[in-house]
A and B are shown apart, each in its own frame.
Chain A
Amino acid sequence: MNNTDKELLSEISDTFNENAEVYNIRKNGESIKRKVNDYISIVTKEDKSGIDIYVKENTLFGIVHIPVIITESGLTDVVYNDFHIGKNANVIIFAGCGIHNDKHKDSEHDGIHRFYLDEGAKVKYVEKHYGKGKGKGKKTLNPTTEIYMKDNTSMTMDSIQIKGVDDTIRITKAYLDSNTTLEISEKILTTGKETAKTEFIVELNGENSSVHVTSRSVAEGSSYQEFTSNITGNTKCYAHIECDAIIKDEGCVKAIPEIYAKNIDANLIHEAAIGKIAGEQLKKLMTLGLNEHEAEEVIIKGFLK
């Protein structure tokens, strides 16, 4: 791996190094390095591009890194990664993609990640997306996440896209059985002419299933963001969707809530707030000696922290 590769890796996964117990590094459409242990295996798919990650039941404190880096301009990389989490396993998964494009052809990564949580499994999933490079070629990332949760499972998902991605369509679908908890936190910053579309489709099928989605985003320059949530409560369940967005300059954000209660005991909440940085926040920080620009930076950094 060269310095660019290492830089991309550190941007998308600051906890990763090659001493990690389990990982698969994918570069320009191919796995270039892999490590497994007795509890977590990684198998290359035979019918399409991608891997299957198997976490044995009762595995505790498993940590898996599956970073993707793209440095080849003009490449469209589509990958299917399936995570099979055994009964009562407890695992943390770090994913993400970094694109470096210094040329004029577009580069794209479409990662389709499917999670199958067996009963009692717990997963923390962290994905980070990052783009850099001075070329006119676009850097596009389209992550799709599908989550299938059996009884008594829980999952938290932190999704972060801080800068440099020209276009993204991010789709997350989740299907929850009984006594399951899903928490999703998304942070997005778009600048210039970037666009980001996010869609959450969640079906709460089992009694006492719950989902909490928090989306915080900042749209600067003339960038555009769209947040769609589509939550269906089929039984006694709870959902809370929060979409908070800050707009700056000519940035635009559109939030489209759709909550559908199909059962008398379904309790579904959607909150959306879009606006510029509150003047009082700027003024407070200015009374502490920051100029307006510095105050804006602090507020945005905190908001996306």
Chain B
Amino acid sequence: MLELKNINFKRNNKVILNNINLTLDDNKFYCITGPNGSGKSTLAKIIIGLTIPDSGSIIYNGKDITKLSIDERAKLGIGFAFQTPVTFKGLTVYDLLKIATGKAVEKKEACNILSKVGLCAKEYIDRELNNSLSGGELKRIEIASVIARNPNISIFDEPEAGIDLWSFKYLTGIFKEIGMKKKGTTIVISHQERILSIADAIILLEAGQIKEVGTKDTMLESILSPICPKGGNHE
């Protein structure tokens, strides 16, 4: 179980997260949604340790992990897929998957992981992780790196951002599969109805605060209505 207690974060004197309190149960699929700038990605980054909150604490299975480094949290079983995949000169897809699994994985096994995100493994496994790969390809490899790690908590930061419709359709399938497994906690930051509709619970953030937590049945309709309560358009 993951608990966020009284999390506050400001940047340039602007409140990004305001007293966030949230409990995430094991084996559930959560979607965090909300307008741009509502603090979704910041919240996800605070869980993995990429961003340090000004105050508050993060408790994971009863242990305070607020002061742990990124890698220490990763070793405890928290995984994170970046919104913008990171590229590397000289590192191959196989290198990344080997690091992710944390063991001397055979190429065949790495290919199996890559196949799970719909990439023809043989074509990609030895490719360098650079911009010769398309945004959609990099995104799938990014997701594969989290799947390879098989963490207890998997966080995906806007997996749909910057990819084409075909890739998105495939990604939705991947998340459906993850959701159906009910194994480990999955947290997806997303605006997309197809992903929101997979979730066991939706967390709506607005202006750095949790506005509502509920099921898709109770929340999807209001979230997807074109006019948000404050009068602006939802993304």
Question: Which residues in A have some Cβ–Cβ distance to B below 8 Å?
Answer: 216, 244, 278, 280-281, 283-292, 295, 298-299, 301-305
Contact = CB atoms under 8 A, between A and B. Distances in A.
B4 interface: no
A300 B178 CA distance: 34
Contact of B91 (A244, A278, A302): A302
Contact of B89 (A283, A291, A292, A302): A302
Contacts of A290: 71, 99
A303 B90 contact: yes
Nearest to A284: B86
Interface residues of B, number: 23
B145 interface: yes
A232 B144 CA distance: 45
B75 interface: yes
Nearest to B78: A287
B149 interface: yes
B88 A287 contact: no
Given A287-B70, A288-B145, A288-B149, A281 B88 contact: yes
Contacts of B149: 288-289
Contacts of A295: 71
Give the dominant DSSP class at A's interface: helix
A289 B95 contact: no
Interface of B: 48, 50, 69-71, 74-75, 79-80, 82, 86, 88-92, 95-96, 99-100, 102, 145, 149
Most central of A283, A287, A291, A304 by chain B CB within 10 Å = A287
Contacts, number: 62
A278 B99 CA distance: 18
Given A286-B70, A287-B71, A305-B90, 8 more contacts: A216-B89, A278-B86, A284-B86, A285-B99, A288-B74, A288-B99, A289-B71, A289-B75
B90 A304 contact: yes
**9 closest residue pairs by CB, A with B:** A302-B90, A302-B91, A286-B70, A284-B86, A289-B74, A286-B71, A303-B90, A287-B80, A305-B90
A118 B149 CA distance: 53
Contacts of A287: 48, 50, 70-71, 74, 79-80, 82
A92 to B, nearest CB: 22
A244 B89 contact: yes
Contacts of B92: 302
